[in-house]
Amino acid sequence: MKACSSRGVICTPHALASEAGMDQLDRGGSAIDAMLAASAMLSAVFPHMSGLGGDAFWLLHDPAQSSAPDQGVRTIVGVGQAGHQLPEGGRITLRGPASVASTAGALASWKLAHEISQTEWGSNRSWKDLLSGAAETAEQGVEPSISHLFWLGHRKPLIETLPDLDEICRDANGQWLTPGSRFFQRDLATTLRQLIASGIDDFYIGEIAHELATAFDDIGCGLTLADLKATRAFEAAPLSIRYREGRLFNTAPPSQGLYTLQAMGAVGQSELSGLGNGTAAYFHQLVEAIKPALIRRNRQLHDPAFRSSAAVRGWDYQHSLATAQLQAYAQAIDAEHAAPWPAIGQPADTVWMAATDEAGRTACLIQSLFHDFGSGCVLGDSGILWQNRAAGFNADAWHPNAWAPGKRPAHTLNPSCYLADDGSRLFFGTQGGDGQPQTQMVLASQLIDFSTPVEAAIAMPRFLLGRSFFDGGDNLKLEAGVGEATIEGLKALGHDVEVLPQHNLFMGQAGIISIASNGRKEAVHDLRGQINDNPLTSLGQAD
């Protein structure tokens, strides 16, 4: 189902979050306001994927600034940094207290985005306006979503070892959540109300910060109050490439958006549409373009602001998007044979959402706890489930992405947008670790190369190379909807293929906002993960 409007639209992975964001648009708020309210609501209704204890990237577009060098596109980096000491035991683990080893940057990004909304986008929405609905929902309780129940079932053995998760995985009687049951986050409601009363800075320097610091000490994760105080969000110039009749944008390192653009740049060196939509040749081209990009990512991606190592000082990542380099990537693709795939997947959980307001300004927000259920640690009485993003550091001390005090880890989060020469605009993104750039390639090629309508583009069968976030094998996974001829064709090219059911939640939950040159807006969110058979996107404002 699709939302259409000449005024404002929103898409998020949960109906209550979409309603919260749409309410801001209806009250004259900006697209940023809609994202802030929706993100806060997701902490109450979608806690396994997103929350106050995570990181975030924003991609903003203001068409009134289209003549600026970046065509009105700007990005916000809200990534927490490593503490100044390792957890007790001297190492970072995948889950549990020793994975709570980097601060959370999401709320710092909220503060910066809110300042832009207030000072540049003409908003007067207060934190009370934006957070009250989420606080009330967290206190009164909510039914678990299909996604919540899916990941609860998938992780039940792990959850049993992480008792902090009982509040969001069991009902008031201690029973596992099931369809129709309710879960409550009353401590989170109290924290949200504290943020309303004292402002977002309270998370980093106020009462909440001191409570978090006490919890850090209690669990021995190595973080301190000083680490919280040092957390900053900042604006960074977006990356972009010329693609067909427009420009494709993404976020700079430590985001993996660089490698999404490398792969799309390689694909863009030839006419993809000539291969036939959905054919083995089509999927082969996408897979073979992203494969070396992910290998480069695993070798290179790190925090470019961290300069302690001579080996990584002065990383010129922009060079990899030069035309000659993109042509070289394209020439390395063998149209007849699949290249070897030695990489190991990068797990992640994430939410992507976006809104466009009546002025045509768009805010895309991608926020994450890293793995589903993050670290599994809820800190003190804050109700805040902390991310395990520190597990994304490389264990090799000589790797560019090795842990170091104050360093940001390499990040899977990367939202995209496409500004066409004719004035039309596309904004899209997804959850899914390694699957993020792969799904974005399908969405971008469908929308741009094949002019596929948004509903059909979001439903298009996807591929996933590697194990990503669901602990599978390092093979090429395809949704069954690709068809037998495509599956057999890819096998003949040398791909190790595994077929998953069509519209599988393992393939992530994507979203698209499309804005035509006449200002008509369409929003659609993934049918992979519906609640009671109703789509998770609100219908937008009335025409």
Contact status, residue 423 vs residue 416, Cβ threshold 8 Å: no
350 catalytic residue (yes or no): yes
Share of the chain above pLDDT 90, in %: 83
Contact status, residue 255 vs residue 432, Cβ threshold 8 Å: no
- Distance between CA atoms of residues 477 and 469, nearest Å: 13
Instruction: Give φ, ψ of 252 to 5 degrees.
Output: -80, 165
Share of the chain above pLDDT 70, in %: 93
Contact status, residue 38 vs residue 133, Cβ threshold 8 Å: no
Contact status, residue 462 vs residue 438, Cβ threshold 8 Å: yes
Q: What is the mean pLDDT of residues 394-405?
A: 94
Contact status, residue 204 vs residue 228, Cβ threshold 8 Å: yes
Average pLDDT, the chain: 92
Q: What is the pLDDT of residue 59?
A: 98
Q: What is the pLDDT of residue 216?
A: 98
User: Tokens at residue 112, please?
Assistant: 């910066």
Q: What is the mean pLDDT of residues 172-184?
A: 95
Q: What is the pLDDT of residue 433?
A: 73
Place of tokens 């009546």: 358
Higher pLDDT, 327 or 66: 327
Confidence class for position 531, pLDDT limits 50, 70, 90 = very low
Choose the weakest-confidence range: 105-119, 209-223, 457-471, 515-529.
Answer: 457-471
User: Tokens at residue 396, please?
Assistant: 């090799």
Confidence class for position 378, pLDDT limits 50, 70, 90 = very high
Q: Maximum distance among all alpha carbons in the chain? A: 62
Instruction: Give ∠ CA 463-466-468 in degrees, rounded to 5.
Output: 95
Instruction: Give φ, ψ of 461 to 5 degrees.
Output: -55, 145
Higher pLDDT, 533 or 31: 31
Query: In b/e form, how buried is each residue of 502-516, taking b as 16+ CB within 10 angstroms?
Result: ebbbbbbbbbbbbbe
The amino acid sitting at 502 is Q
Segment 338-376, tens digit of pLDDT: 999 886 655 555 789 999 999 999 999 999 999 999 999
User: Tokens at residue 530, please?
Assistant: 């519906």
- Distance between CA atoms of residues 185 and 19, nearest Å: 20
Q: What is the mean pLDDT of residues 234-248?
A: 97
pLDDT score of 469 more than 60 = no
Q: What is the pLDDT of residue 537?
A: 40
Pairing of strands 476-479, 497-500: parallel
Q: What is the mean pLDDT of residues 65-93?
A: 95
Q: How far is CA 525 from CA 76, 150, 349, 428, 539, in A?
A: 23, 18, 17, 10, 11
* Nearest C-alpha neighbor of 338 from the set 293, 398, 289: 289
Segment 186-206, tens digit of pLDDT: 999 999 999 999 999 999 999
Higher pLDDT, 446 or 466: 446
Taking the mean position of all CA atoms in its chain, how far away is CA 133?
Answer: 23
Choose the weakest-confidence range: 14-23, 216-225, 450-459, 472-481.
Answer: 472-481
pLDDT score of 267 more than 60 = yes
Confidence class for position 494, pLDDT limits 50, 70, 90 = very high
Catalytic residue among 350, 356, 412, 486: 350
Segment 132-143, tens digit of pLDDT: 999 999 999 999
Q: What is the pLDDT of residue 218?
A: 97
Q: What is the pLDDT of residue 349?
A: 57
Higher pLDDT, 172 or 262: 262
pLDDT score of 102 more than 80 = yes
Q: Give the helix/strand (H/E) hosting 349.
A: strand 349-356
Q: What is the pLDDT of residue 308?
A: 55
- Distance between CA atoms of residues 377 and 164, nearest Å: 6
Q: What is the pTM of this model?
A: 0.94
Contact status, residue 461 vs residue 435, Cβ threshold 8 Å: no
pLDDT score of 306 more than 90 = no
Contact status, residue 501 vs residue 479, Cβ threshold 8 Å: yes
Choose the weakest-confidence range: 73-77, 81-85, 347-351.
Answer: 347-351
Place of tokens 């922009």: 318
